[in-house]
Structure 1
Amino acid sequence: MNSSRLMNHMNTACDWLIKLFYLNLLWILFTLAGLVIAGIFPATVALFTVLKSFQTGESVRAFNEFWDVYKKEFWRTNRLGIVLTILPIIFYTDWLFTNQFSGTWAMTGKGILLGCFFLYVITLLYVFPVFIEAERKVFPTIKIAFLIGITYPVHTFMTLICITSLLLTFAFLPMAGFLFLASGLACIQSFFSLRLFKKIEAQAVNMHKHNTKIAGYYQTVIREKNPLLKG
């Protein structure tokens, strides 16, 4: 029994390694197809979309879905990409500006910038999963990703720990990083995000039921106190 279970786990692991390798290859090819600058964000959204299908058990053809999402979301994802690219440029420019000062002002400015950059990283963890889940415009997507990141610090911390561990592994094994970097990072983000979204959805359902019960209770009280409303 243990041997059979072990073989099943090994088969699952090998299957996922093959999928991640193939998706990483597709990500590289489609990024290059868009001359990198215009291709990286549509390819990333397509990567997250296919990974979501795999993780939810949907039967899809990876290349077909990748290509369909890449075409459909090309312009919308590049608008998102422009905002996500401009923000770190602004941070870096402001960092250089703070170098013109010294003492308390410089330390305060650098501290604020580091805090803002950390919040940017937290937002980046959820922005692509939110983008494909909610299909909203650019700024609402960024806002929701930011709010989720700071509202659920445990999930955010676990995601950051796993991503950091994976990056350290790739630093020691550069070839593995070349083969699995994009798909590996996206897989971690997608894995934690899907579970967090399910938790948020369950909380929303419970809250709705709770509010419905409260509303029903108050309606009953009002009717009891006001005879005109009875019947």
Structure 2
Amino acid sequence: MLMNGWKGKLYWFVEFVTMLAVLQFMWIGLTLLGVVLIGITPATVGLFATLRKRLQGEDDLKLLAKSYWKSYKTDFIPSNKIGIVLLVTGYFLVLNFRIVTSMEGTLGLALLTLMVMILILYAVIVMNIFQVFAHYDLPFSRYFSTSVLLSISFPVQAAGSIMGLYVLYRIFLVIPGLLPFFGVSLTVLFLTWMSSKTFRLKAELDGTLPSEEICK
């Protein structure tokens, strides 16, 4: 049923909010289905892929749900490889950070500075890698390097993503009741929207159309 004016806008808003809530609950369910540890990465990758389709114009919730489930199954093992690398790397970084913070003197300060730089690099990879994985079909190791290169090549977009994440953090801090319904889905939607701009800029600089890139 086609509606115009404020009724049409209200209908679109309610439908959009419902979609985010449903996808959030699917993310929770699929994460639990993989016993959390091996479920969270494919569930997150699938959510990025699904919301990418939504931004491309797909608005049928049933089709989006089917697409989410398909992506979860297809990318279960490849995405978990990335998750394992991130988890192990993060564990050792935190361990080393605690050791470095206990050191004193010039050497301690130098190592602390180095560790902070490495942690920032790690945070950039975590912020970008799922979007890169959902968008591109690349060799395994290139997902990590591409995540870093995109932030270096497009610093304005990277800064915008960080600022947006901070704003969302403040909103969820003020209204924690939103977290169970929109915490993950809204965050992923924002990052997907920002990354779509980055991917389009990259395609323009490379002299290709987005459809001509090596995409999934």
TM-score by length of 1: 0.82
Which residue of structure 1 aligns with residue 28 of structure 2?
A: 28
* Residues paired across the two proteins, number: 203
TM-score by length of 2: 0.88
Which residue of structure 2 aligns with residue 216 of structure 1?
A: none
Which residue of structure 2 aligns with residue 115 of structure 1?
A: 117
Counterparts of 1:19 and 1:70, CA distance in 2: 18
Aligned pairs for 1:1-231 (under 5 A) are 6-58=6-58, 61-205=63-207
Query: Any conservation in 2 of the 1:171–1:177 contact (CA below 8 Å)?
Result: no
Report SS of the residue matched to 1:101: coil
Deviations along 1:85-134, whole A, 9 cap, x unmatched? 12221211111221342122222212211111112222222211111211
Percent identity of the aligned residues? 23
Query: Any conservation in 2 of the 1:130–1:141 contact (CA below 8 Å)?
Result: yes
From the superposition, tell whether residues 9 and 123 of structure 1 become closer, same or farther in structure 2 (CA, over 3 Å). Answer: farther
From the superposition, tell whether residues 111 and 7 of structure 1 become closer, same or farther in structure 2 (CA, over 3 Å). Answer: farther
Specify every segment of 5 or more residues in structure 1 that has no aligned partner in the other structure, as ranges. 207-231
Deviates more, 1:151-160 or 1:14-23: 14-23
Deviations along 1:38-89, whole A, 9 cap, x unmatched? 1000101110111011000035512211111111111100001011112221
Query: Any conservation in 2 of the 1:159–1:189 contact (CA below 8 Å)?
Result: yes
* Higher RCO (C-alpha 8 Å, min separation 6): 2
Specify every segment of 5 or more residues in structure 2 that has no aligned partner in the other structure, as ranges. 209-216
RMSD: 1.6
The one-letter code sitting in structure 2 at the alignment partner of 1:35 is: V
From the superposition, tell whether residues 7 and 116 of structure 1 become closer, same or farther in structure 2 (CA, over 3 Å). Answer: farther
